[in-house]
């Protein structure tokens, strides 16, 4: 069954090809930062009515060597049927594109990653006709990034690693570092990685923690997102109620002009100042005595 977490785990190799160099580095396979990456058709169905699709297929052309096809599979559990499917994918793609093929399997738990490394052999009578050796990335070989600066240097790798370590005891620190790092990037990139983490982590405890972090507007100030707008509006409404409540408890009348000024304000700093003054002012109009842009009198005073 295809899930958001499954899709996000392999689609990142199409959406953010800069992930390739650091991922290959942890696998011990040097790959230059400079390369061209093109998405290829992932359909490997033959004429027979048996549909087969690789999760993601890209053509990688490193600046320092021969191009190759990279097939990426996101695997969330052990599936013995994949042992033959993966061999088929490699053979088919090699024949179709006449290029060397590497198979990369992305796992989110150690047991699945251990199984996925294979090798998976095809043969009989003591003779091996074909053997498949997938490259595997997962919790054991992807770095645990809990430092904001390190995360900011490569947001794609930091986000990808966070997904792989979704069950790590340090996941809160991992997500906190990533969230702080996202403050330094542009809104479009921040939105992409927000969605990537939300989809990849899903309804897991790590996913809930990520959504909890996003609920604090301080991580993404000034983005103008629906989440931030709702937060600010709710905060302002609470401040307004607080000011009016304090004045009411103190028995201080609130003229219509003053009430309108308070309820229409969305400046949190100003509302905070008014709330502080509401505890000591002698009359409601005195809330605004230190605001130079507020008129000397209101319609109620005229």
**Statement to judge: residues 72 and 166 lie in one domain:** no
> What's residue 211's pLDDT?
86
Q: How does strand 127-132 pair with strand 120-124?
A: antiparallel
Residues 167 and 85 occupy one common structural domain? no
Q: Return the DSSP state at 43.
A: B
| Domain annotation covers residue 108 | yes
The last residue of a domain, from among 219, 235, 258: 219
Q: How confident is the model at residue 193 (pLDDT cuts 50, 70, 90)?
A: confident
When pLDDT is averaged across residues 54-80 and rounded to a whole number, the result is 91
Express each pLDDT in 205-242 by its tens digit.
Answer: 998 988 888 776 444 555 555 455 555 666 788 889 88
Give the chain's mean pLDDT.
Answer: 82
Q: Does one domain contain both 35 and 19?
A: yes
Q: Which residues contact 53 (CB under 8 A, 6 or more apart)?
A: 42, 43, 44, 45
Q: Which residues are registered as beta bridge partners of 104?
A: 72, 135
Kindly state whether residue 89 falls inside one of the protein's structural domains: yes
Q: How far is CA 69 from the centre of its chain?
A: 26
Proportion of the chain above pLDDT 70, given as a percent: 82
R_g over Cα of the chain: 28
φ/ψ of 94, rounded to 5, equals -65, -45
Q: Which of 1-10, 152-161, 277-286 has the lowest mean pLDDT?
A: 1-10
3-state secondary structure 73-109: EEECCCCCCHHHHHHHHHHHHHHHHCCCEEEEEEECC
pLDDT band at 137 (very low <50, low <70, confident <90, very high): very high
On whether residue 293 sits in a domain, the answer given is: no
Evaluate whether 78 touches 115 at the Cβ level (below 8 Å): yes
Percent of the chain predicted with pLDDT > 90: 35
Residues 59 and 77 in one domain: yes
Contacting residues for 138 by C-beta, under 8 A, at least 6 apart:
106, 107, 108, 109, 110, 112, 113, 164
pLDDT at 292: 53
End position of a domain, from candidates 192, 219, 246:
219
* Co-location of 70 and 193 in the same domain: no
Residue 297 counted as domain residue = no
Question: Is residue 211 in some structural domain?
Answer: yes
* Domain shared by 30 and 123, yes or no: yes
Number of separate domains in the chain: 3
Question: Does 171 share its domain with 244?
Answer: no
Residues 65 and 181 in one domain: no
- Residue labelled with tokens 């000397």: 296
- Supply the range of the domain harboring residue 37: 4-137
Last residue of some domain: 219, 246, 274? 219
Per-residue pLDDT, averaged over 13-18, amounts to: 83
């Amino acid at each position: 069954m295809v899930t958001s977490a499954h899709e996000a785990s392999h689609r990142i190799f199409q959406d953010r090809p800069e992930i390739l160099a650091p991922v290959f580095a942890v696998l011990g396979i040097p790959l230059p930062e400079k390369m061209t990456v093109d998405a290829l058709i992932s359909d490997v169905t033959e004429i027979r009515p048996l549909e087969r699709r690789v999760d993601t297929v890209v053509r990688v052309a490193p600046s320092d060597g021969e191009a190759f096809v990279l097939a990426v599979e996101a695997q969330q559990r052990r599936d013995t049927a994949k042992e033959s499917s993966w061999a088929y994918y490699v053979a088919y793609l090699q024949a179709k594109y006449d290029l060397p093929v590497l198979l990369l399997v992305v796992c989110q738990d150690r047991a699945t990653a251990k199984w996925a490394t294979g090798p998976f052999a095809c043969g009989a009578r003591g003779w091996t006709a074909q053997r498949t050796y997938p490259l595997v990335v997962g919790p054991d070989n992807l770095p645990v990034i809990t430092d904001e600066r390190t995360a900011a240097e490569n947001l794609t790798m930091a986000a990808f690693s966070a997904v792989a370590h979704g069950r790590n005891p340090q996941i809160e620190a991992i997500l906190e570092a990533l969230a702080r790092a996202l403050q330094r990037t542009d809104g479009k990139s921040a939105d992409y990685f927000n969605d990537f983490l939300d989809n990849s982590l899903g309804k897991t405890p790590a996913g809930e923690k990520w959504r909890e972090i996003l609920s604090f507007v301080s991580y993404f100030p000034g983005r103008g997102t629906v989440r931030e707008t709702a937060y600010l509006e709710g905060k302002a409404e609470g401040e307004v109620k607080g000011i009016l409540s304090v004045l009411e408890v103190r028995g201080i009348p609130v003229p219509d002009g003053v009430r309108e000024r308070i309820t229409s304000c969305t400046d949190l700093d100003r509302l905070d100042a008014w709330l502080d003054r509401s505890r000591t002012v002698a009359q409601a109009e005195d809330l605004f005595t230190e605001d130079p842009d507020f008129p000397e009198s209101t319609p109620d005073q005229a």
